[in-house]
A and B are shown apart, each in its own frame.
Chain A
Amino acid sequence: MTTCKNCSFYFAVPEDAGDFEAGKGDCVLEREDAKGKYWLSKPTKNDSASCKAFKKA
Chain B
Amino acid sequence: MSTVAASIKYNGKVVDFPLANPAENEIADEVLHENLARPTTERTKRLKARCRWKHAAAGEFVDAEVRAGIERMRYITEAHKASAGQPEVIRRALGLANILNKSTLVLQQDEFIIGYHAEDPEMFPLYPELAYMAVQDYLMSDYSPQPKDEAAEINEYWKKYSMQAKGERYFTQEELLQMYQVSTMEAPGFATGYNSISPPYETVLQDGLLKRIESAKEKIEHAKKEMQKIPWNATTGLDWIARIDVWKAMIIADEAVINWARRHARLAKIVAENFETNPARKEELLEIAEISQRVPAEPCKGLKDAFQSKWYTYLICHAIDRYASGYAQKEDEMLEPYYNISVKEKSFQPMTHTDVVEMVEMERLKISEHGAGKSRAYREIFPGSNDLFILTIGGTKPGYVDACSDMTDAILEGARNIRTTEPSIVFRWHPVGREKTKRLVFECIRDGLGYPSIKHDVIGTEQLKYYSQFSKNSNGATDEEAHYWGLVLCMSPGVCGRRKTHKTRSEGGGSIFPAKMMEIVLADGFDWSYSGMQLGPHTGDPTTFKTFELLWEAFRTQYAYAISKVIRAKDIMRYFESKFLQMPFVSSIDDGCMELGVDAMELSEQPNGWHNPITTVVAANSLVAVKKLIYDEKKYTMAQLVTALHANWHGYEDMRQDFLNAPKWGNDDDYADAIIKDFYEDIIGGEMAKITNYSGGPVLPVGQAVGLYMEIGSRTGPTPDGRFGGDAGDDGGISPYMGTDKKGPTAVLKSVSKVQKNQKANLLNQRLSVPIMRSVHGFNIWKSYMDAWEQLNIDHVQFNCVSTAEMKAAQKEPEKHQDLIVRVSGFSARFVDIPTYGQNTIIARNEQAFGADDLQYLNTQL
Nearest neighbor of B116 in chain A, beta-carbon distance: A38
Residues on the A chain within 8 Å of B121, using CB: 35, 38
A28 touches B101 (CB 8 A): no
A39 touches B266 (CB 8 A): no
Within 8 A of A (CB), among B79-111: 101-102, 104-110
Residues on the A chain within 8 Å of B104, using CB: 40-42
Nearest neighbor of B108 in chain A, beta-carbon distance: A38
B270 touches A37 (CB 8 A): no
Task: Known contacts A17-B259, A17-B262, A18-B262; decide if A39 and B101 are in contact (CB<8 Å).
Answer: no
Q: Measured between alpha carbons, how far is A47 from B408 in the docked complex, in Å?
A: 52
Task: Known contacts A26-B263, A39-B267; decide if A18 and B258 are in contact (CB<8 Å).
Answer: yes
A18 touches B259 (CB 8 A): yes
Task: Known contacts A40-B104, A40-B105, A41-B107; decide if A28 and B259 are in contact (CB<8 Å).
Answer: no
Residues on the B chain within 8 Å of A13, using CB: 266
Q: Measured between alpha carbons, how far is A37 from B50 in the docked complex, in Å?
A: 10
Q: Measured between alpha carbons, how far is A36 from B119 in the docked complex, in Å?
A: 16
Cβ of B120 < 8 Å from any Cβ of A? yes
B105 touches A41 (CB 8 A): yes
Cβ of A30 < 8 Å from any Cβ of B? yes
B266 touches A26 (CB 8 A): yes
B109 touches A38 (CB 8 A): yes
Cβ of A15 < 8 Å from any Cβ of B? no
Q: Measured between alpha carbons, how far is A40 from B338 in the docked complex, in Å?
A: 30
A-contact bits for B235-268, CB 8 A (1 contact / 0 none): 0000000000000000000010011001100110
B267 touches A26 (CB 8 A): yes
Cβ of B52 < 8 Å from any Cβ of A? yes
Cβ of A43 < 8 Å from any Cβ of B? yes
Nearest neighbor of B119 in chain A, beta-carbon distance: A40
A39 touches B258 (CB 8 A): no
Cβ of A11 < 8 Å from any Cβ of B? yes
B-contact bits for A7-26, CB 8 A (1 contact / 0 none): 00001011001110000001
Question: Which one of B119, B120, B262, B274 lies within 8 Å of A28 (CB-CB)?
Answer: B274
Cβ of B837 < 8 Å from any Cβ of A? no
B119 touches A37 (CB 8 A): no
A40 touches B106 (CB 8 A): yes
Q: Measured between alpha carbons, how far is A18 from B266 in the docked complex, in Å?
A: 12
Nearest neighbor of A28 in chain B, beta-carbon distance: B270
Q: Measured between alpha carbons, how far is A42 from B107 in the docked complex, in Å?
A: 12
Question: Which one of B107, B263, B270, B274 lies within 8 Å of A38 (CB-CB)?
Answer: B107
Question: Which one of A19, A30, A36, A37 lies within 8 Å of B263 (CB-CB)?
Answer: A19
Within 8 A of A (CB), among B50-81: 50-52, 65
B101 touches A30 (CB 8 A): no
A-contact bits for B121-136, CB 8 A (1 contact / 0 none): 1100000000000000
Q: What are 19 A-B interface contacts by the 8 Å CB criterion?
A: A13-B266, A17-B259, A17-B262, A18-B259, A19-B101, A19-B263, A26-B266, A28-B270, A36-B108, A38-B107, A38-B109, A39-B106, A39-B271, A40-B120, A41-B104, A41-B107, A41-B263, A42-B105, A43-B101
In the A-B complex, the 7 residue pairs with the smallest Cβ-Cβ separation, listed nearest first, are A18-B259, A41-B267, A41-B105, A35-B50, A38-B108, A37-B109, A19-B259
